[in-house]
Structure 1
C-alpha cells in the first residue's frame, strides 16, 4: 500500500470519527450559547442574595467546621473549614492542602511525602481540584466572597435572577453565574459564563439537596444538558 493511499485512509478515518462530534458541538453551540446579560440594581441584588442565604440557613453552614464529600466518584475531600485546611485524595495521591498559604501544603504518593517539582505539581493540581469541586458543593454560600459583584437580571419568565461575577480569587477569576431562585429564595439552577467552557449560558441544576448533621444544606446532583455531576458521601459537622 503506497503512502498516498495510507494518508487518504487515515484522513477518512479522522473525518469519520470527528465529524459527528463537530456537528453535535455546533448544534449545542448555536442552540444554547448566549452572551453574558447586563445586570443592574446592585443594592436590590444584595437583598436577593441575602434572601437566598436565608433560604439555605446560611448560619448553619457558617457553623459547619468540617465537611467531607466525594466528587464524581473520583476525588475525596476532608475539609477542616474553620482551619482553612483540606485533605484531597485522588488515585494514589494525597495532599494536605493549606488553603490560606498553599506553599505550606504537603503532597504524598502512596502515603510517602514528596518534594520538589512533583510536590509543586500535586499541590497545584489539588488546589485546582478543590476550587472547582468545592464550588459545585457550596457556591450559593460564596455570593458575598471578596471580589464578587452582584446585580439583578430580568428573566424571560418575568422574574429576576441574581448575577454573581467573581472578579478575583479561585482558579478562573472573571467567571459569572446567573442564579434562578424559587419563590422562597432557594436556588434551583444557575447559568454559567466561565472561561473553561466554550459555550456561554449553559444551565446547571441545583437540587437533590441533603441536610447534614450540622444543618448545612448541600446538593448531591447537578444536571447539565444530558450530563450529571454527582456528589456523594457528604458529611457536615460543627
Structure 2
C-alpha cells in the first residue's frame, strides 16, 4: 500500500511539474518579444528632449529633496543636493552615500556584525536602484552610457528605445517608451536581465505635479498587477 502511495505521489508531482513547464513555455512564447531595431542620432535625441520637457526635467534637476514609498513597504528620503538617501526597509534604515559608498552606514541602535551590515547595505542599494527607477526613469534619458534610438512601433507611431550600458544594478537593460501627443510617457516595454520574457509592458499612470514643479507617475501596471508609489513629496531648502 505504501509503495503504491509513493508511486502515485511521484506521478502526481511529475504531472504538476510538466504542467508548470508547459505553462511557463506557453507564457514565454506568447509574450516574449525580440528587442526591436532602432535608429540613433538627432531624431532620437530630439524625441528624448521632448519627453524631458513634458515631465519638467529642469524642475526635477532643481529639486533638493525627494521622498516616496514604493509598493507600500520601502521608504525613501533622497537628498539630491548631496546625493545621499535614507532607505527604510522592514525595521531598519540604511544611509546610502551614493557618491561615497565607503561612508554607507546602518541607522540602528541594534548590533549587526560586518557581514550583516554588508548584506543590509547591498539590499538597500539594490532596492533604491530599482524603486527609484520606477519613479524617475523619464528623467534619466541622458544619463552617462545611455543609447537612444527611435523605433517605429506597431501602430505606426514612434517610440524611444533607451539602453543603459552602465550604471544601476543591471547594466544592459533596455526600455521602449510610448508617449502621448504631448510626449508624456504612457508606458514602456522592458528587456531586462531580471525578467526572462522580453517586451513586457508596464504602464505609467496617475501623473502628478509636485511642489517643486516636477512631474511624476504614481502608479504602474505590469501583467495586471499594480505597482503603487505613495507619500510622494518634493521640496527645496
TM-score range, shorter-chain basis?
over 0.9
Unaligned regions of 5+ residues in structure 1, if any? none
Deviation at 1:101, TM superposition (A): 2.1
Task: Confirm or deny: 8 A CA contact 1:107 1:113 kept in the other structure.
Answer: no
2:207 to 194, 206, 209: 209
TM-score, normalised with respect to structure 1? 0.93
1:156 to 131, 154, 157: 154
Q: Write out per-residue CA displacement over residues 187-206 of structure 1, whole angstroms, 9 at most, x where no aligned residue.
A: 11000000000100000001
Residues 1:187 and 2:185 aligned together: yes
Task: Confirm or deny: 8 A CA contact 1:108 1:114 kept in the other structure.
Answer: no
Question: Which residue in 1 is equivalent to 2:12?
Answer: 12
Q: What secondary structure is seen at the aligned counterpart in 1 of 2:212?
A: coil
Q: What secondary structure is seen at the aligned counterpart in 1 of 2:81?
A: helix
Unaligned regions of 5+ residues in structure 2, if any? none
Distance 1:19 1:211, change over 3 A: farther
Computed over aligned residues only, the root mean square deviation of the Cα atoms, in angstroms, reads 1.8
Deviation at 1:227, TM superposition (A): 1.0
Cα distance in 1, alignment partners of residues 201 and 12 from structure 2 = 35
What is the number of residues matched between the two proteins? 236
Task: Confirm or deny: 8 A CA contact 2:163 2:174 kept in the other structure.
Answer: yes
**Match runs of 1:1-238 below 5 Å:** 2=2, 5-6=5-6, 8-9=8-9, 12-13=12-13, 15-16=15-16, 18=17, 21-109=20-108, 111-112=109-110, 114-238=112-236
Q: Write out per-residue CA displacement over residues 60-108 of structure 1, whole angstroms, 9 at most, x where no aligned residue.
A: 1111110111110111101111111000011112101111122210014
Deviation at 1:115, TM superposition (A): 4.7
Q: Write out per-residue CA displacement over residues 98-146 of structure 1, whole angstroms, 9 at most, x where no aligned residue.
A: 111222100145x436451111111111000000000000000001001
Cα distance in 2, alignment partners of residues 96 and 220 from structure 1 = 24
Distance 1:234 1:91, change over 3 A: same
Deviates more, 1:152-161 or 1:22-31: 22-31
Q: What secondary structure is seen at the aligned counterpart in 2 of 1:50?
A: helix
